[in-house]
A and B are shown apart, each in its own frame.
Chain A
Amino acid sequence: MVRKVYGAAAAALARAEVKGKFASIGTDVAPLDPAQLGRFIEAEIAHWAKLVKLAGIQPE
């Protein structure tokens, strides 16, 4: 199921017409597969922890 959705999404994001639609709403297509996305999320959690600390924002 995950493979089916990723396959369909990645095929769509590779099409110039779809890239253009994403650009028109201010986004850059940047596909990552499930394993890469998992690593990306873990990296983002660490990255945002650093940014929030640097920014001096207290958690609510």
Chain B
Amino acid sequence: MLLPLPLAAQAQTHSTGSGQAWPAHPVKLIVPFPAGSATDQVARLTGAELQAALAQPFIVENKAGTQGSIAAAETAKAAPDGYTMMVTTNTPQAANVSLFKKLSYDPVRDFAPVARLATTSFMLMVRSDYPAKSLKEFLAVSRSKSQSAGYGSSGSQVSLALLKSMGRLDVLDVPYKGIPQAITDTLGGTIAFTFVDLGNALAQAKGGKLRGLAVTSAKRTPLAPDLPALAEELPATS
């Protein structure tokens, strides 16, 4: 979680600190992705905890678009008074620096870091009738034919591109507006595999129609300890 601008913000927070205690009124939590996304759910959980601890409402405002850049630019321009914060991810604060030629915010200079809250990753998923039960088998099968695969976010776009180049796979990638549409087309068979955010992935795996084969984090996650990290087979991908 981050809030706008460092030095000016801190100076101002100091002076208000001697008079009226922060927070004296509701605090805005800007979320760079739509309602229902993992980031949104983290913001709502955290907002409820901060509200209970600090006795003011923490109000989530979703500002999706351009991989979170719109929300980040708005947060960067907000008054540095401690009443606008952003619950962000490594997409607006890090990946976008390399994914866009130009950004209208500086992810380091325009923000003051407050707290890292949680980490998550993507799961590589196939339909349950796909002829591979493990990551090793998947790589072997995938190297022998061409397939289509989907991505619904910039993080998973990078994961897919890395899987293709490091795994030497012949894959036609299909961009989706969101991960739910990529899940639908994997279930329907239009695409052979996709990357799913861990929250949706765990629910799909439980449902049994999609099978998880690997996670994109550098190491295995305690949330799906049986699944290997992609990096175990393809070290350069994490």
| A2 near B112: Cβ-Cβ < 8 Å | yes
Bin the interface of chain B by size.
Answer: 35 or more
**Among A26, A32, A35, A41, residue most surrounded by chain B Cβ atoms (within 10 Å):** A26
Q: CB-CB < 8 A to B236: which residues of A?
A: 54
> In the complex, what's the smallest C-beta–C-beta distance from A13 to chain B, in angstroms?
7
Tell me the dominant secondary structure on chain B's binding face: helix
Majority DSSP secondary structure for residues of A touching B: helix
Separation of A40 and B46 alpha carbons in the complex (Å)? 20
Whether B108 contacts A41 by the Cβ 8 Å rule is yes
List residues of chain A with CB under 8 Å of any chain B CB: 1-2, 4-6, 8-13, 18, 21-23, 25-38, 40-42, 44-45, 47-49, 51-57, 59-60
Known: A2-B114, A25-B199, A27-B198. 20 other contacts (CB 8 A): A1-B17, A2-B13, A5-B1, A5-B3, A6-B114, A13-B117, A27-B120, A28-B221, A31-B116, A34-B113, A36-B116, A38-B108, A40-B116, A42-B108, A45-B97, A48-B158, A54-B165, A57-B98, A57-B99, A59-B101
